[in-house]
Chains A and B, each alone.
Chain A
Amino acid sequence: MVRNLGWHPVASWTWDAQDETCGICRMAFDGCCPDCKFPGDDCPLIWGACNHAFHLHCILKWVNSQTPQPHCPMCRREWQFKG
């Protein structure tokens, strides 16, 4: 399998407005994730130790799908919730 194909850090691949949007669902941070349809639903943001932010609901889905060690979708460092 071809690996590390001149690997670009994921961050350089991302969309124009990456600072205001969740890197997982692409919805704006001032809105909610696709699972929370209604504005006003409790859809908090959460930061990783690497300082990348996501909707809590989005990063939980990703972390739960990754075994044994989840990585940050943006920078691939080990994902740890910022304490």
Chain B
Amino acid sequence: MLDLSRVQKELVDCNRDKSSGVSIDLVGDQLSHLAGTISGPIGTPYEGGVFRIDIRLPDGYPFEPPKMQFVTKVWHPNISSQNGAICLDILKDQWSPALTLKTALLSLQALLSAPEPDDPQDAVVAQQYLRDYPTFLGTARYWTEAFARRVSIGTEEKVQKLVEMGFPEALVRTTLENAGGDENMALEKLCSG
């Protein structure tokens, strides 16, 4: 059984600390499915980006590690450029129940600052990192610019707001897109059916 009281405490604890650069939100009404956000560390090609992490809590949490995966596309040797899979020891065999979702997200942030190309999750990215570092930096920066800009997070918040008003998510997304991201215009369209 998932320890719900602990997860609730974790959410409060994490989101109270605004300075950490990481936060956790509910995705639906289940505490077992959460969304983390990490701001890209300054001085890295991920600076200026906001990265979204899908978090699934197994029933055994906190005795089993949370399952985390990048939703935002990211060009990094230790994160799959295909599906966002992460290979990090504390999310596998080095997990400890004294760790938290926040500390795991902070570890991911540290991983963005300190890639380990000798131990890759994405071999293509790792090869580029080792053989042609300037091109790696360029690509990583480009991906941050293209996929992780703050704007896209704004969109997620708008989507969430409209979904909370009772509109189906898929409809909200297309309407919002057609309205060029204008929340009020989208709401008008949604209400007029």
Residues of A near any B CB (own CB < 8 A): 1-6, 10-11, 13-15, 23-27, 34, 58, 61-62, 65, 71, 73-74, 76
**B89/A5 in contact, CB under 8 A:** yes
Interface-central residue, A3, A10, A11, A26, by most chain B CB under 10 Å: A26
**B63/A2 in contact, CB under 8 A:** no
**B97/A73 in contact, CB under 8 A:** yes
B-side interface residues, number (CB < 8 Å): 30
Beyond A10-B98, A26-B10, list 15 extra A-B contacts (CB 8 Å): A2-B119, A5-B110, A5-B111, A5-B114, A13-B98, A13-B103, A13-B106, A15-B13, A24-B62, A24-B98, A34-B6, A65-B63, A73-B96, A73-B98, A74-B96
**A1/B88 in contact, CB under 8 A:** yes
Residues of B near any A CB (own CB < 8 A): 3, 5-6, 9-10, 13, 60, 62-64, 78, 87-90, 92, 94, 96-100, 103, 106-107, 110-111, 114, 116, 119
